[in-house]
Amino acid sequence: MTHRFDIPLASLEGAHKRYGRTLALDGVDLELHGGQVLALLGANGAGKTSAISLLLGLVAPDAGEVRLSGRAPGTLAARRGVGVMLQSGALPPTLKVRELLDLTRSYYPDPRSVAECAAIAGLAGLLGRRYDALSGGQQRRVQFALAICGRPTLLFLDEPTTGLDIEARQGLWHGVRDLVAEGASVLLTTHYLEEAEALADRVVVLAGGRVVAEGSLEAVRARVDQRRIRCVTTLDVEAVARWPGVRSARRDGVRLDVVAGIAEDVVRRLLAADAALSDLDVSRAGLAEAFLEITREAPLTEAA
């Protein structure tokens, strides 16, 4: 039996979206549940914005089902309680920040005060400035303030920190965490693993319009968990590449560069095979490498 609280706040089921010859989404399933922060990760063109556009009812899927707050997206009832920060947030350029905030606040029954929005989004000193006179990063912060001023319970953030410096990025993360602590759920897209790491409970990795990994950050990392072993040795690279547990091996001058799932067995065998082996170095592939690895496995698809 399905309980009311099991209904996802936002979901895609088998969503397909094609723009001309480009297949932007190729059968995507995803669910955002109450209280969660879900990060949609992916390289440029992976389909992240398309997924958000579908969920907000801005574009219709070619196939599949889209639900927002349990309803068809795009309807007023579904959009109630939803705050949105898109990449293409066209705003009246000549309005001042305070005017933009007041205008947006007027759409909501119980908006946050201007001061509260400014504090959460880091707009101190900018309220009297014209929007078109702000830097790109400052404009992003204004867009964030507008997205949260209606006290959304579900927040969509499409690459919210692109163009922000490290301090502003961390400020925005802080703001998002405060909203989550108040009970908001968030779906964010990002290129940055550290952003997902800082905010998300779950990640969905998109590549070429498909979900290529999904789960907790740890689970996604484990999906491509690997060790890099470097050493100076005369061992034959082709032979090492065929050893069990070795994913790849290449020679770089006197160095051998081996990628393995589990390092220990390979290291033991290397040491046994070459008593003169030196400069041994074992490192864990970082999240950035893990991410690259996942996206490499599923290159962009384009229809013929």
Look up residue 127 and give its amino acid: L
Q: Is 160 in the site for ligand ATP (CB under 6 A)?
A: no
Question: How far, in Å, CA of 279 to CA of 128, rounded?
Answer: 60
Least distance between ligand ATP and beta carbon 49 (Å)? 3
Out of 9, 15, 24, 263, the residue judged to bind ligand ATP by CB under 6 A = 24
Q: Which element (helix H / strand E) includes 219? A: helix 217-223
Q: Report the residue from 9, 32, 48, 140 that binds ligand ATP according to the rule CB under 6 A.
A: 48
**Maximum CA extent, the chain:** 75
CA 229 to chain centre: 29
Q: Say which amino acid occupies 65.
A: E
> CA nearest 45: which of 249, 240, 256, 302?
302
- Torsion 187-55-86-16 (CA) sign: positive
Report, in Å, the least distance between residue 59 CB and ligand ATP: 8
What is the nearest approach in angstroms of ligand ATP to the Cβ of residue 46?
4
Task: Tell me 301's DSSP state.
Answer: P
Nearer to ligand ATP, 59 or 285 (CB): 59
Nearer to ligand ATP, 22 or 226 (CB): 22
Stretch that binds ligand ATP, among 18-26, 29-37, 218-226, 245-253 (CB under 6 A): 18-26
The one among 11, 49, 69, 143 contacting ligand ATP by CB under 6 A: 49
Backbone angles phi, psi at 218, to 5 degrees: -60, -45
State which residue, 185 or 295, has the beta carbon closest to ligand ATP. 295
Is 46 one of the binding residues for ligand ATP (CB under 6 A)?
yes
| Residue 250 CB, nearest approach to ligand ATP (Å) | 30
Is residue 45 within the footprint of ligand ATP (CB under 6 A)?
yes
User: Which residue type does 295 have?
Assistant: T
Query: Is 64 a binder of ligand ATP (CB under 6 A)?
Result: no
Among 7, 13, 16, 22, binds ligand ATP (CB under 6 A): 22
The two beta strands, 227-232 and 255-260, are antiparallel
Residue 8 carries which DSSP code? Answer: -
Task: Count how many Cα atoms sit within 13 Å of the Cα of residue 143 in the half-sphere of its side chain.
Answer: 27
Closest to ligand ATP by CB, 46 vs 146, is 46
Q: How far is the CB of 17 from ligand ATP (least distance, A)?
A: 8
Residues in contact with ligand ATP, counted by CB under 6 A, come to a total of 12
Our finding on whether 47 is near ligand ATP (CB under 6 A) is: yes
Span interacting with ligand ATP, options 47-55, 176-184, 217-225, 253-261, rule CB under 6 A: 47-55
- 19-27, 30-38, 100-108, 122-130 -> range binding ligand ATP (CB under 6 A): 19-27
d(CA 154, CA 90): 21
**Residue 28 binds ligand ATP (CB under 6 A):** no
- Return the exposure string of 98-113: e unless at least 16 CB atoms fall within 10 Å of the residue's CB, then b: bebbeebbeeeeebbe
Q: Is 107 in the site for ligand ATP (CB under 6 A)?
A: no
User: How many CB atoms within 10 Å of residue 268?
Assistant: 10
Binding site for ligand ATP (CB under 6 A): 19-20, 22, 24, 42, 44-50
